[in-house]
Amino acid sequence: MLLSVENITVHYSRLPALREVSVSVDEGEIVCIVGPNGAGKSTTLLSISGVLNPTSGDITFDGKRINGMSPEAVARAGISQVPEGRHVFTTLNVEENLRIGTSMRDDRGEIEKDFKRVLEIFPVLAERRRQAAGKLSGGEQQMLVIARALLTSPRIMTIDEPSLGLAPNLVDRVYETLLDLRNDRGMTLLIVEQSSERALKAADRMYVLRSGQMQLEGNAADLQDGEKVRQAYFGFEEGVAHEGEVAF
Ligand SMILES: Nc1ncnc2c1ncn2[C@@H]1O[C@H](COP(=O)(O)OP(=O)(O)OP(=O)(O)O)[C@@H](O)[C@H]1O
Ligand SMILES: [Mg+2]
């Protein structure tokens, strides 16, 4: 496995936000973690990227233990994180935002090649190269943060809710781009999603997290009827809906 999270427990205060959670991602895989609000999905990604430090358990990347490392060191090791919420520098233009992705690198020649490649993958960013990032649509901003993460030349990208707040057609486009990144370039992706339908479509393997604990893990192909995922996601048996619970 390229990335292994083994039995991590993470506390914000006294209450654990994650209890003995394990996730693994193999080279070239698309793995999705799904779960309702407050499940611990973002906490899992923040632990991988060194922003949070687990109180127990281990995280290994390419055979090396990375828990306790700073976010900068984790990024340098090859894990690029796209956090929740599409953080672009609104007053900088698209190109300046993208250049931030290359700021940690010193392989000058490769940077320019990668820059060209990224503009080919994301033609909408090429068209708007000189435009302030704040003027981009939500979908375009999502493309920009993914492109910026790609420019760090990572071995794996973790992406927190790429579809949040986007219209369905834009969500489709974002996911098409992610699939292309894997299929054409062998990029490894760990994606957090609220929509298990979306995860079932996009992922090779998926995990269902709820209340800080892993409920289910499996190949997306084996879970296509959705029933096991539904039960793990909501924590109730087939056909028993709880009042106030959102439709699946
Ligand atoms: N900074 C924080 N301080 C204290 N508790 C936190 C903090 N961030 C998250 N939590 C708590 O930890 C738990 C997991 O939160 P997390 O953000 O990982 O969930 P999530 O699955 O990403 O949810 P969402 O789908 O809403 O983004 C929740 O109970 C949340 O209230
Ligand atoms: Mg979250």
Task: Name the one residue in this structure whose structure tokens are 């390419």.
Answer: 62
Q: Is 43 in the pocket of ligand 1 (CB under 6 A)?
A: yes
> What would the two tokens of residue 5 be?
């999270």
Residue 237: the pLDDT is 58
pLDDT bin (cut points 50, 70, 90) of residue 244 is low
Contact yes or no for 10/54 (Cβ under 8 A): yes
CATH number at 3-234: 3.40.50.300
> What are the strands, taking DSSP E only, across the chain?
3-11, 16-25, 30-34, 56-61, 64-65, 79-82, 156-160, 188-193, 205-210, 213-219
Q: Is 128 in the pocket of ligand 1 (CB under 6 A)?
A: no
The H-or-E segment that residue 232 falls in is: helix 227-234
- Of all protein residues, the one whose alpha carbon is nearest to atom 4 of ligand 1 is 12
Q: With 80 as the cut, is the pLDDT of residue 239 above it?
A: no
Residue 95: the pLDDT is 96
- Of all protein residues, the one whose alpha carbon is nearest to atom 16 of ligand 1 is 40
What are the pLDDT digits (tens) for 78-103?
A: 999 999 888 999 999 999 999 998 98
Q: Is 27 helix (H, G, I), strand (E, B) or coil?
A: coil
Q: Is 98 helix (H, G, I), strand (E, B) or coil?
A: helix
Mutate to test the pocket of ligand 1, among 12, 32, 51, 210 (most ligand atoms within 8 A of CB): 12
- Dihedrals φ, ψ of 213, to 5°? -130, 145
Closest listed residue to residue 36, CA positions, set 194, 214, 207: 194
- Give residue 31 CA to ligand 1 midpoint distance, Å: 20
Q: Residue 158 pairs with which residues in a beta bridge?
A: 81, 190
The 8-class DSSP code of residue 93 comes to B
Over residues 33-41, the mean pLDDT reads 96
Closest listed residue to residue 146, CA positions, set 195, 96, 83, 237: 83
Q: Kind of pairing, strands 213-219 and 205-210?
A: antiparallel
Q: Is 54 in the pocket of ligand 1 (CB under 6 A)?
A: no
What are the pLDDT digits (tens) for 121-172?
A: 889 999 999 999 999 998 899 999 999 999 998 999 999 999 888 888 888 9
Distance of alpha carbon 206 from alpha carbon 216, whole angstroms: 8
Question: Residues, the chain, total?
Answer: 248
- Give residue 212 CA to ligand 1 midpoint distance, Å: 9
pLDDT bin (cut points 50, 70, 90) of residue 242 is low
Q: Is 246 in the pocket of ligand 1 (CB under 6 A)?
A: no
Over residues 183-202, the mean pLDDT reads 94
Ion ligand 2: residues, CB < 5 A: 42
Distance of alpha carbon 16 from alpha carbon 214, whole angstroms: 13
Q: With 50 as the cut, is the pLDDT of residue 191 above it?
A: yes
